[in-house]
């Protein structure tokens, strides 16, 4: 893992000191709220419905146990004993007091963390595949490149006042677990004809009120050209992006309005200018960074005890069927810890749970933890012979829910329970869906299904790329939920289609139940997933399930 050097350390400490002074000046009245707001946002501090909210960056979702314990300490000392892991691999604290925030930032700096550029019209935390460095299908660990991008983009003088926020995601595998096609820049590692690794560069993806799947700007970019090429993209956007209308300011609109070919020629021209300027320093830096991400020394040991435990304990077997993924090293597995216990708030972990996960990473996981954009926590490197012990500890801590990738593994933004921008609540809808499917005991039979819920059009809950997406709106002063179907955040990214009129808060959970049960009748075989069935049949049969009255009427009219 990357460790701060003296420069990073001094920079972060200086920012904490600056922010401490800014808070003091705001409290004394020397700064107005209008003056203070951009300063607090630069440091990740929002003012929400019930309190301030501090968004802490977890760079590319990677944490070490010491950092996780510090997050637990912050939760306990300055919040209400928990933290909320977000869809951008960050953590948010929902209840800090203004006067405490400089101390919180100081505590973060103690473990090489910060909240810089987690807000504002800047390049935000670079996200990455949460299985980076562990996935069996990976070409290379994308995190050194993500760290290079982080260093380049942090406090980059040219990019502190972009037309709008800017998000970059990187994946080292052909399988896209980082939703790269829904980012301003998506980087997907591929190989050229000679086998050399590089990136497919995708630009102009995004969700929000105008959802768009990113377009390929360059089919193959050599790894060594990444930084000048990204700088060229952001430079072109910085000049061309619209500042007259907030809703048209993201690069997806710039690409849409100017056309990908125009953007490509502008980027290539700028790249030709920039490339010689980089002169190799970025590559030296990358080599240094790569040294920090050397894979752990994997051990070789028998896995018989794992197989025996699977046979002996059905609950363990169910959990290992659902929550493990293939690891690149023999005898190892990737463990996804579900932060989605049925009925609990998606992504919320208590301070005690954070400590348990930190301990597990230390004892059994080569000291590594990841936060996934799906709001779960990953132990990327666990030897199979340790899995039964890991499971036992997780069970004790209420962290052993076997539901990864299933109906109840729901992404949900904080919604109107916390967020000042929200138009409806998301959390209770997620809680109720998960609780209902737990009662039905059906989710394992249903199989892979991604439900994603946003509490407003800004789509922090990624509803557009949910196989079932739910969007909470305010319709004449009442919460109302729109369903979209067929979205996909993978390498085959697709934006979901709206199914029809929205449902009230009372109707939405029964509607989802109807939809999922209806899918079980529609699927061609037990292994045909919801998304495959949708792609085979189209939206109509699902509409008929969602709106039975309308379907009956239509039939009657046709007859």
Partner 1 sequence: MSRHFTPKVITANDLMLGDAIWLTEDDRWTRDIAEAELIEDEAHATIRLLFAQAQPEIAVGPYLADAKPGTTGPQPIHFREAFRTRGPSNYAHGKQVEV
Binding site for partner 1 (CB under 8 A): 26-27, 29, 32-33, 47-52, 80, 94-99, 345, 348, 416-418, 425, 427-428, 431, 474, 477-479
Indicate the residue among 86 and 323 with the shorter CB distance to partner 1: 86
When the beta carbons of 51 and 440 are compared against partner 1, the nearer one is 51
Three-state SS annotation for 126-158: CEECCCCCCECCCCCCCHHHHHHHHHHHCCCHH
Euclidean distance between CA atoms 348 and 341, whole angstroms: 10
Nearer to partner 1, 15 or 425 (CB): 425
Least distance (Å) between residue 441 CB and partner 1: 24
d(CA 117, CA 108): 15
The residue (of 32 and 287) whose beta carbon lies closer to partner 1 is 32
Question: Which residue in this structure is represented by tokens 């904490």?
Answer: 16
Query: Which residues face 348 on adjacent strands?
Result: 84
| Rounded distance between C-alpha atoms, residue 6 and residue 534, angstroms | 53
Q: Smallest distance, Å, CB 472 to partner 1?
A: 11
| CB-nearer residue toward partner 1: 142 or 472 | 472
State which residue, 308 or 478, has the beta carbon closest to partner 1. 478
CA dist 60 → 201, 210, 482 (Å): 18, 25, 31
Residue 429's alpha-carbon distances to 139, 226, 442, 459, 476, in angstroms, are: 38, 41, 18, 15, 19
Cβ at position 399, least distance to partner 1 in Å:
18
Closer residue to partner 1 (CB): 33 or 261: 33
Return d(Cα 38, Cα 41) in angstroms, integer. 5
- Alpha-carbon span 263 to 241, nearest angstrom: 11
By C-beta, is 427 or 453 nearer to partner 1? 427
Query: Which CB, 99 or 294, lies closer to partner 1?
Result: 99
DSSP 170-199: EESSSS-SS-GGGSSEEEEEEE-TT--EEE
Residue whose C-alpha is closest to residue 68's, from 498, 461, 358:
358
What phi and psi values does residue 302 have, to the nearest 5 degrees? Answer: -70, 155
Instruction: Tell me if 179 sits within 8 A of 489, measured CB to CB.
Output: yes
- Whichever of 33 and 527 has its CB closer to partner 1, that residue is 33
Alpha-carbon span 33 to 221, nearest angstrom = 44
Residue pair 230/199 in contact (Cβ under 8 Å)? The answer is no
Six-digit token string for 111:
């473990």
Q: What minimum distance in Å lies between the beta carbon of 456 and partner 1?
A: 11
Smallest distance, partner 1 to C-beta of residue 37, A: 9
Q: How far is the CB of 427 from partner 1 (least distance, A)?
A: 5
In whole angstroms, the minimum distance from the beta carbon of 211 to partner 1 comes to 25
Minimum CB–partner distance for residue 345 and partner 1 (Å) = 5
Provide, rounded to whole angstroms, the least separation between the CB of residue 343 and partner 1.
10
Cβ distance 91 to 83 under 8 Å?
yes
Give whichever of 324 and 429 is closer to partner 1, judged by the CB atom.
429
Q: Which residues pair with 336 in a beta bridge?
A: 378
Residue 81 Cβ, how far from partner 1 at the closest point, in Å?
10
CB 97 to partner 1: min, Å? 6
Minimum CB separation of residue 481 from partner 1 in Å reads 14
Burial of 444 (0-12, 13-18, 19+ CB in 10 A): middle
Distance between CA atoms of residues 410 and 211, nearest Å: 20
Cα–Cα dist 494/342, whole Å: 28
For partner 1, which is the closer residue by CB, 127 or 376?
376
Q: Which is nearer to partner 1, 48 or 532 (CB)?
A: 48
Q: For residue 96, which of 15, 21, 10, 23 has the smallest C-alpha distance? A: 23
- Please answer whether residues 254 and 199 qualify as being in contact, where contact means their C-beta atoms are separated by less than 8 angstroms: no
Alpha helix ranges (H) inside 206-350: 226-240, 251-258, 260-278, 281-292, 304-312, 314-323
**Strand order across the 369-371 sheet:** 62-63, 369-371, 377-383, 332-337, 324-326
The end-to-end CA distance of the chain, in Å, is 67
- Shortest distance in whole angstroms from residue 423 CB to partner 1: 8
CA distance linking residue 2 with residue 542, whole number of Å: 47
CB 160 within 8 A of CB 193: no
Of 94 and 353, nearer to partner 1 (C-beta) is: 94
Residue 308: CB minimum distance to partner 1, A: 40
């Amino acid at each position: 893992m990357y460790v701060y050097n003296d420069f990073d350390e001094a920079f972060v400490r200086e920012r904490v000191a600056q922010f401490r002074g800014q808070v003091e000046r705001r409290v004394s009245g020397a700064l107005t709220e209008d003056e203070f707001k951009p300063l607090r946002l630069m440091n990740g501090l929002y003012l929400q419905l019930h309190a301030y909210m501090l968004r802490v960056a977890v760079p590319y979702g990677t944490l070490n146990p010491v950092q996780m314990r510090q997050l637990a300490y912050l939760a306990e000392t300055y919040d209400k004993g928990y933290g909320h892991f977000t869809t951008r691999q960050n953590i948010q604290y929902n209840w800090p007091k203004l006067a405490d925030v400089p101390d919180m930032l100081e505590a973060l700096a103690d473990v090489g963390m910060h909240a810089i550029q987690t807000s504002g019209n800047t390049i935000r935390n670079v996200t990455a595949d949460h299985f980076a460095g562990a996935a069996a299908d990976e070409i290379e660990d994308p995190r050194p490149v993500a760290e290079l991008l982080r260093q380049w983009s942090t406090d980059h003088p040219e990019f502190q006042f972009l037309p709008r926020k800017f998000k970059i995601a990187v994946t080292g595998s052909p399988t896209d677990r980082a939703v790269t096609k829904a980012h301003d820049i998506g980087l997907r590692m591929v190989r050229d004809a000679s086998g050399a690794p590089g990136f497919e560069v995708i630009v102009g993806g995004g969700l929000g009120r105008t959802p768009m799947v990113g377009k390929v700007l360059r089919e193959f970019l050599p790894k060594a050209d990444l930084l000048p090429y990204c700088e060229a993209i952001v430079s072109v956007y910085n000049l061309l992006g619209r500042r007259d209308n907030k809703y048209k300011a993201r690069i997806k609109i710039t690409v849409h309005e100017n056309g990908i070919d125009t953007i490509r020629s502008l980027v290539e021209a700028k790249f030709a200018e920039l490339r010689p300027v980089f002169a190799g320093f970025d590559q030296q830096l990358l080599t240094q960074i790569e040294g920090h991400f050397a894979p752990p020394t994997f051990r070789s040991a028998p896995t018989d005890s794992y197989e025996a435990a699977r046979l002996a304990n059905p609950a363990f077997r169910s959990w290992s069927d659902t929550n493990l993924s293939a690891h690149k090293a023999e005898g190892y597995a990737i463990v996804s810890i579900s932060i989605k216990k049925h009925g609990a708030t998606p992504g919320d972990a208590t301070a005690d749970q954070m400590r348990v996960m930190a301990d597990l990473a230390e004892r059994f996981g080569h000291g590594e933890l990841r936060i996934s954009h799906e709001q779960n926590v990953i132990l990327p490197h666990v030897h199979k012979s340790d899995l039964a012990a890991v499971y036992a500890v997780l069970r004790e801590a209420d962290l052993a829910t076997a539901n990864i990738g299933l109906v109840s593994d729901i992404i949900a933004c904080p919604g109107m329970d916390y967020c000042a921008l929200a138009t409806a609540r998301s959390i209770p809808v997620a809680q109720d869906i998960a609780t209902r499917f737990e009662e039905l005991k059906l989710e394992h039979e249903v199989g892979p299904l991604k439900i994603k819920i946003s509490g407003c059009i800004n789509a922090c809950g990624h509803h557009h790329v949910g196989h079932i997406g739910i969007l909470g709106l305010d319709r004449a002063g009442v919460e109302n939920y729109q369903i979209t179907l067929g979205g996909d955040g993978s390498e085959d990214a697709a934006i979901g289609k709206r199914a029809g009129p929205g449902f009230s808060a009372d109707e939405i959970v029964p509607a989802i139940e109807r939809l999922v049960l209806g899918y079980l009748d529609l699927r061609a075989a037990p292994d045909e997933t919801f998304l495959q069935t949708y792609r085979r049949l189209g939206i109509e049969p699902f509409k008929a399930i969602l709106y039975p009255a309308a379907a009956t009427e239509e039939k009657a009219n046709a007859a």
